[in-house]
Amino acid sequence: MIWIYNMIDEAARVDYEFFLKDGCILCKLMNRIVPGCIPEDTITWEGVRSKQINMRNFLQQAETYGVPKVKLFHVEDLLHLRHIPRVTRCIYALAKLVSEDPKQASDTPQLGDEPSFLQEPKKKVDVPGHRDTKDVMAQLTAEKKTAEKKLEKHSLYK
């Protein structure tokens, strides 16, 4: 987040996810990295469609700059605040590329190490006695249906 502030010379007046939510800051960030890559007159914060366009423009330019597809977030991740760590991972990947770019490195803010919560999860390990959340939810749903059937048979519900 500090890297973004330093890159665009602008501090957030709201929380991180709301600072980024309309996509304007992301477009401004991309234009700081590659001047003019997103035309200024196309960047607007009004309406959901404009926000989607801003995010798509950013994602397209980030990919062009070298961010791998697997590191890009989905528009809905930010638009609906569904997966902010994925958004952060994308920005981090972009920042890392910028810090390694010889054309950029001398006059751009430097980036620290990637926070551990952004790193890809390690290989899934099976723990004896541990059940997957989907299995637990399926069992609870089945138990609820059984309980509802018993209640239907009860004389108070006839």
Query: What integer pLDDT is reported at residue 30 of this predicted model?
Result: 94
Residue 90 lies in domain: 2-118
Q: What is the pLDDT of residues 57-96, one digit of tens each?
A: 999 999 999 999 999 999 999 999 999 999 999 999 999 9
12 within some domain: yes
130 within some domain: no
- Are 94 and 101 in contact by the 8 Å Cβ rule? The answer is no
Please give the DSSP secondary-structure letter assigned to residue 106.
T
The more confident residue out of 103 and 75 is 75
Q: How many CA atoms lie within 13 A of 90 on its CB side?
A: 25
User: Looking at residue 88, which CATH number applies to its domain?
Assistant: 1.10.418.10
151 within some domain: no
pLDDT band at 120 (very low <50, low <70, confident <90, very high): low
150 within some domain: no
65 within some domain: yes
Alpha helices in the chain (DSSP H): 2-8, 16-20, 24-33, 48-65, 75-79, 84-100, 133-153
144 within some domain: no
- Are 26 and 58 in contact by the 8 Å Cβ rule? The answer is yes
Among 16-20, 27-31, 84-88, 135-139, the minimum mean pLDDT is found in: 135-139
60 within some domain: yes
- Are 29 and 8 in contact by the 8 Å Cβ rule? The answer is yes
The more confident residue out of 50 and 123 is 50
pLDDT band at 152 (very low <50, low <70, confident <90, very high): low
Q: Is the pLDDT of residue 104 over 80?
A: no
- Average pLDDT for residues 19-35, to the nearest whole number? 91
Overall domain count for the chain = 1
Query: What integer pLDDT is reported at residue 9 of this predicted model?
Result: 76
31 within some domain: yes
Q: Is the pLDDT of residue 103 over 90?
A: no
